[in-house]
């Protein structure tokens, strides 16, 4: 039981450490402004970690960006103005969720188009395979196949058919 509690406490501490990258000296006095800063920080990419928001990252650059966001909010900038300032300074890459613009059109449209194209290809393939199998099942038997089937049904052993479909004697004489 003690071991279980120790593991649970360790996992809880590990989860809390990642969630609280914002240091106490960064927190704004006004809770409403701090909430805005935290929300904006969750939308901005850490340029060092690249797959983390600056709110989650402990990198020095992420700290600088968090402080910059708080400075801009304290100066009276709206959320859009803060984002525009950071995009102008660091480029679109600073946004975790890129804007839907002409430059990012491929980024937004290629994944759904690939998904639709893949679904269409799978649909055509299954449709084609289903047609081929149904045509093969509806084909009438040849005379040789009917004779072999009759012999099998009567309990006799049917003569082996060579791979070429011709009787063995004709194959020998043909060579």
pLDDT, tens digit, 9 for 90 and up, residues 152-163: 898 876 556 655
State how far the alpha carbon of 37 is from the alpha carbons of 13, 17, 101, 157, in Å: 24, 19, 25, 86
pTM above 0.75, yes or no: no
Per-residue three-class SS string for 84-119 = HHHHHHHCHHHECCCCCCCCCHHHHHHHHHHHHHHH
Tokens of 22: 């914002």
| Model confidence band, residue 102 (pLDDT cutoffs 50, 70, 90) | confident
pLDDT at 164 over 50: yes
Instruction: Summarize the confidence of residues 77-81 as an average pLDDT.
Output: 92
Closest CA to 71 of 109, 26, 105, 39: 26
- Answer yes or no: is pLDDT of 175 > 50: no
Give the dihedral of Cα atoms 163, 165, 169, 175; nearest 10 deg: -70
CATH label, 15-94, candidates 1.10.760.10, 1.10.150.120, 3.40.50.2300, 1.10.8.640 = 1.10.8.640
Q: Residue 17: which pLDDT band, with cuts at 50, 70 and 90?
A: very low
For residue 61, pLDDT beyond 80? yes
Mean pLDDT of 98-106: 83
| 85 touches 77 (CB < 8 A) | yes
* Side-chain-facing half-sphere of 123: CA atoms under 13 Å: 6
pLDDT, mean of residues 94-109: 85
Bridge partners for 53 per DSSP? 45
**Per-residue pLDDT, 119:** 94
């Amino acid at each position: 039981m003690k071991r279980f509690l120790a593991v649970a406490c360790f996992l809880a501490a590990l989860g809390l450490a990642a969630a609280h990258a914002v240091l106490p000296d960064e927190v704004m006095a006004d809770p409403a402004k701090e909430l805005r800063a935290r929300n904006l920080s969750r939308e901005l990419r850490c340029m060092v970690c690249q797959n983390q928001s600056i709110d989650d990252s402990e990198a020095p650059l992420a700290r600088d960006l968090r402080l910059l966001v708080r400075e801009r909010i304290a100066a009276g900038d709206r959320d859009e103005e803060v984002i525009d300032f950071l995009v102008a300074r660091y480029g679109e890459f600073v946004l975790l969720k890129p804007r839907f613009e002409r430059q990012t059109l491929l980024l937004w449209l290629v994944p759904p188009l690939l998904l639709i194209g893949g679904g269409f290809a799978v649909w055509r393939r299954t449709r084609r395979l289903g047609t081929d199998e149904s045509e093969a099942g509806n084909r009438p038997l040849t005379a040789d196949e009917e004779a072999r089937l009759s012999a099998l049904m009567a309990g006799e052993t049917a003569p082996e058919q060579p791979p070429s479909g011709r009787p063995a004697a004709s194959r020998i004489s043909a060579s």
